[in-house]
Copies of this chain bind each other. A is one copy, B any other.
Amino acid sequence: MPKSLGKDSTCSIARSLEVLGDRWTLLIVREALIAGSTRFQEFREALGIAPNLLTQRLTFLIEEGLLTRRTYQEAGTRSRHEYVLTEAGRSLNLVIAALSDWGRTRRARPDGTSPAFTVEDSDTPVRLAFVTDDGDQVGAGQLVARRTPDRELVGR
């Protein structure tokens, strides 16, 4: 798995991409998060990924702390593994939602599908937005960004 992106490993975006910069990795996270897949065969069938690549990516995701491996056993069969998102893995729903929004609006197609995010207990729909501390929503087109030390961003 490639690691270094040259000059900017202090950058939070580059740090994310060191883990997530491989498409299969994010698609595996997507399957776990949205389809609820946990088993090797489920990932393999949903993604059409070669078994050796899937093994490699699952191992990488475990090493990086995004998945844990659990053992399960069905009656009369030998024990098998399943792969479950950790809290760090589940927290990627922000990234998954952002990618989904962009794909849905900027690469629209009539038969498209996207994850709909809802609050677990109440089924209330939510969407991703930029908000101020007062809770006002701000359109993505009205924003500027500048690089800032993380220690100045505590609480953001």
Contacts and interface: CB of A to CB of B under 8 A. Distances in A.
Number of copies: 2
29 contacts: A6-B48, A7-B47, A11-B112, A11-B113, A12-B102, A13-B99, A15-B104, A16-B106, A17-B103, A18-B107, A19-B107, A34-B146, A91-B141, A93-B140, A97-B145, A98-B128, A114-B147, A114-B153, A115-B146, A115-B147, A115-B148, A116-B156, A117-B145, A119-B143, A121-B142, A124-B132, A126-B132, A127-B130, A129-B130
Interface of A: 2, 5-8, 10-23, 26-27, 30, 33-35, 46-49, 87-88, 90-121, 124-133, 135, 137-138, 140-153, 156
A50 to B, nearest CB: 10
A34 B145 contact: yes
B7 A115 contact: no
Contacts of A125: 132-133, 156
A116 B148 CA distance: 6
Contact of A126 (B17, B26, B47, B130): B130
